[in-house]
């Protein structure tokens, strides 16, 4: 009986050691934080052209290759990226400093290449994936559609 209980305990411990999460946040960095956390901090801390290009590239990757158990972009990612796309100075900075690969990724996205149209699609996607966000996102969407 003790062997059975011990075996069950070991089996339970081994199966609970997995690191599966609901969402993929861009992999882990050397510091143990996700790529999303690291780049978001860098963008806030020192907004330079290289970081802006990397952040846009990260958003494109999170949208194109969602991971985690749900296989959808993490909550808030679509809305954050949409907000960023609605800032013309950010888009200008991106186009002036991005690599060809980054520009290709941006322009060949399933959400289109026009930043304003892409932002609207992303806000709609945020509401589709996370209906609870509609309270915050719908008023912004309404204003954008009324333009």
**Spans of all domains in the chain:** 23-146
Residue 1 has pLDDT above 70, yes or no: no
Residue 14 has pLDDT above 70, yes or no: no
In this prediction, residue 117 has a pLDDT band, given cuts at 50, 70 and 90, of: very high
How many other CB atoms are there within 10 angstroms of residue 38's CB atom?
A: 20
């Amino acid at each position: 009986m003790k062997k059975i209980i011990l075996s069950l305990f070991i089996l339970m411990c081994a199966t609970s050691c997995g690191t599966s999460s609901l969402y993929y946040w861009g992999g882990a960095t050397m510091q143990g934080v996700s790529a999303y956390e690291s780049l978001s901090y860098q963008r806030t801390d020192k907004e330079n052209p290289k970081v802006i290009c990397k952040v846009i590239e990260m958003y494109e990757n999170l949208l194109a290759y969602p991971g985690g158990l749900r296989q959808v972009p993490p909550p808030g990612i679509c809305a954050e990226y949409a907000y960023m796309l609605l800032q013309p100075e950010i888009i200008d900075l991106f186009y002036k400093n991005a690599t060809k690969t980054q520009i290709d990724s941006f322009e060949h996205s399933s959400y289109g290449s026009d930043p304003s149209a892409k932002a609207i699609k992303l806000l709609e996607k945020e509401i589709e994936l996370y209906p609870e966000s509609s309270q915050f996102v719908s008023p912004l969407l309404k204003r954008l559609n009324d333009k």
